[in-house]
Amino acid sequence: MSVLLGDVRKTEGKDVERLPCIEEGCIRCCTDRGNPLELTTGDILRLCRALSIGSDDFYAQYCGIMWNRITGTCLFIPSVGLIFPCRFLESGRCGVYDVRPIHCRLFPEGLVADNNNMDIYRNCGYRCIDKGMAADKKREPYIYELKRIDRRELEATASYFENFNYCVELKPEEVKRAGGFLSDVDYMERAAKTREMFTEAIDKKTREEVESVFIKRLCKLGAEFSEGDIKSVEEECIC
């Protein structure tokens, strides 16, 4: 199984100060419960190593199982993600910035670079999206390299956890019922409420069983890699 274990990119303090989100005090992408962050196995291993804790303790302190709806279906697929508001936030700053997950590194530049639809983020408190962003040509090679690494890590993660084996299909009426209670919900919180209601619609016993399986696999994650594997992967890190 191939994942990136070294730091993808180091960012010095003086560089962090220049980030627009820091200048404006916006931490929406770190706190929006409607769009939590899925973690790859590489993210988990990098963070565990930086924090000097085991993957089981890491999960207990920072993570949960998130159920994402597969577009165009009534299927929901589980994955390990950070609990939002992110518990790595320290006085509005990221406490693990140098080893932050790949999806953190890619937002929102990854969306801009690929001209992806950003409507789900509009008028939801994301200042960078609402103000409009243009891709920085100088950073495009870095962004595309990150996306390549991300694809590889997502494939490795899906293979390790076998997420698709634990998909849950809700009845169309259950999905419709869950979405029917949103008319009075503030637009900023609609995505979070939608996610909450879909998750609650999944049988509690099923959710608990899936979480138990994922935790057991997390406990074994570090054993999947030898020191030789770690060194060989670090050699391909960029920047």
d(CA 159, CA 105): 23
Query: Residue 116 has what pLDDT?
Result: 65
User: Cβ contacts of residue 37 below 8 Å, gap of 6+?
Assistant: 81, 82, 84, 86, 101, 103, 104
pLDDT of residue 129: 84
**% residues pLDDT > 70 (the chain):** 78
| Strand ranges (E), 99-239 | 168-169
pLDDT at 113: 67
pLDDT tens for residues 44-68? Answer: 999 999 999 999 999 999 999 999 9
User: What does the pLDDT read at residue 16?
Assistant: 44
pTM (predicted TM-score): 0.84
Q: What is the model's pLDDT at position 73?
A: 94
How does pLDDT run across 103-128, given as a tens digit for each residue? 999 888 887 766 666 777 888 888 88
Distance separating alpha carbons of residues 89 and 104, to the nearest angstrom: 13
- pLDDT value of position 155: 95
**Please, where are the H alpha helices in 9-125?**
13-16, 20-24, 28-31, 41-51, 55-62, 102-106, 109-113
**Under-70 pLDDT residues of the chain:** 1-24, 113-117, 179-183, 187, 223-239
Dist CA 101 CA 3 (whole Å): 13
Quick one: pLDDT at residue 40?
94
